[in-house]
Amino acid sequence: MRLGGKLAPYLLSLPGWAYLLVFFLIPLVSMLGMALAVGDPISGFVISFNFQEFVDAFNGYQAPFIRSFWYGTASTIVTLLVSYPVAYWIAFYGGRHKSTYLFLIMLPFFVSFVIRVLAWEFILSDQGVILGTLKQFGILPQSSRILSTQWAVIGGLIYNSFAYYVLPLYVVLEKLDRRLVRAANDLYASPVTAFMKIILPLSAPGIFAGFLLVFVTNVGDYVNAALLGGPGTYMIGNIIQDSFFQSQDYPMAAALSSILMLMLMVAILLYSKAFGTDTIQEYAA
């Protein structure tokens, strides 16, 4: 009985560990192994200690790496700026219809990802509903376009990550103790001051969580670049995909994936050191 009691937490966490082993650890180890392998698809690949692939991957693809981080950072920041007011409005003024509004935000996600991106291709078309109209009124020059530029890719990333940022922000804003805001008002804080000193610091965990969620996904994305981008918008995800399905250069694909993972881990570490939960709590206090 007592032994069972002690073991219970471990036994209960067993499914979790099994899940991590099967769906995380084994693929991760096999990926790292593949990155060190030599060979070709005809004669097969053999694991060795060939670190050259990492060197080649790092040296050969600096531009797409930098581009991916730039697209990822830019899109995440804009997503934050766009989704914060939305989450704020739903949490503070949504009233009885809060879940309806959240449902409306999630609604487009019931449609396949690729179809949604293709829809943007249609909307942003050179003579389409938006650009065509603006050109008709002479607001934009005839030759201007959005599609096939990096702005289309970043825009696609923003659109696709919008809901993923609204939800964590909504959760913290919804739980926020309104009495603190009222107290600030009672103490003659202007709405702006109340927002800056009370609401913003207390919603920091949501900002932090959403940033991680969106940033990591966007840096590794390749669908938006493939469909909305143009020449020179190749992201690292596109390169990895090519290495798999076009070149069958599995060691290169694995090395690139490992490097991307490492870079993201370093970025997240630095980020949480700077804005991590500890700091947030200090800030809030």
Partner 1 sequence: MSKDDQNGRDLTQAFYRGLTQPRLSRQNFMRGAGAAMMAALAPQIARAEKVKDWPAWWAKQKPTKEFVFANWPLYIDVSSDGKDHPSIDEFTKQTGIHVTYKEVIQEVGPFYAQVAPVLKAGQATGYDMMVITNGWYLTEMLMQNWLVPIWQEKVPNFAKNASPSVKNPPFDPGNKHTMVWQSGLTGIAYNPKLTKREITSFDDLWDPAFAGHIGMFSDIIEIGSAAMLKLGINPTTSTPADWEKAAAILKDQKAKGLVRQYYDQSYINALESGDVWITMAWSGDVYQANSKGYKDLKFVVPKEGCSIWHDNMCIPVGAKNPLSALEWMNYYYTPEAAGLVEDYVNYICPVPAAKDYILNVIKDPDVANSPLVFPPESELARTHEYHPFKNYAEYQKWLNIFNPVVQG
Q: How far apart are CA 273 and CA 257, in angstroms?
A: 24
Choices 101-109, 194-202, 236-244, 260-268; region in contact with partner 1 by CB under 8 A: 236-244
Q: Residue from 86, 200, 212, 227 that binds partner 1 (CB under 8 A)?
A: 227
Closest CA to 198 of 189, 209, 206, 207: 189
Q: Residue from 3, 42, 187, 192 that binds partner 1 (CB under 8 A)?
A: 42
When the beta carbons of 37 and 166 are compared against partner 1, the nearer one is: 37
Size of the site for partner 1 (CB under 8 A): 48
Is 128 near partner 1 (CB under 8 A)? yes
Is 37 near partner 1 (CB under 8 A)? yes
When the beta carbons of 45 and 195 are compared against partner 1, the nearer one is: 45
Q: Which tokens in the block code for residue 268?
A: 């997240």
Q: How far is the CB of 28 from partner 1 (least distance, A)?
A: 11
When the beta carbons of 13 and 144 are compared against partner 1, the nearer one is: 144
Residue 164 CB: number of other CB atoms within 10 A?
17
Q: Residue from 33, 94, 108, 276 that binds partner 1 (CB under 8 A)?
A: 33
Dihedral in degrees, nearest 10, Cα atoms 268, 273, 276, 282: -170
Residue 50 CB: number of other CB atoms within 10 A?
16
**x/- map, 62-81, partner 1, by CB under 8 A:** -xx-----------------
Long-range Cβ contacts of 155-158 (<8 Å, 24+ apart): 155/120, 155/124, 155/228, 156/117, 156/120, 156/224, 156/227, 156/228, 157/71, 157/72, 157/75, 157/79, 157/218, 157/221, 157/224, 158/75, 158/78, 158/79, 158/82
Q: How far is the CB of 244 from partner 1 (least distance, A)?
A: 5
Is 238 near partner 1 (CB under 8 A)? yes
Give me the sign of the Cα torsion angle 40, 46, 49, 54: positive
Q: Residue from 4, 16, 138, 231 that binds partner 1 (CB under 8 A)?
A: 231
Is 122 near partner 1 (CB under 8 A)? yes
CB contact at 8 A, 69 and 215: no
How far is CA 62 from each of CA 145, 159, 231, 232, 278, rounded to the nearest angstrom?
28, 26, 17, 13, 34
Q: How far apart are CA 21 and CA 24, in angstroms?
A: 6
Choices 83-91, 117-125, 174-182, 274-282; region in contact with partner 1 by CB under 8 A: 117-125
Is 256 near partner 1 (CB under 8 A)? no
* Residues found near partner 1 in the complex (CB under 8 A): 27, 30-31, 33-34, 37, 40-42, 44-45, 47, 63-64, 114, 118, 121-122, 125-128, 143, 145, 147-148, 222-223, 226-227, 229-232, 234, 238-239, 241-242, 244-250, 253-254
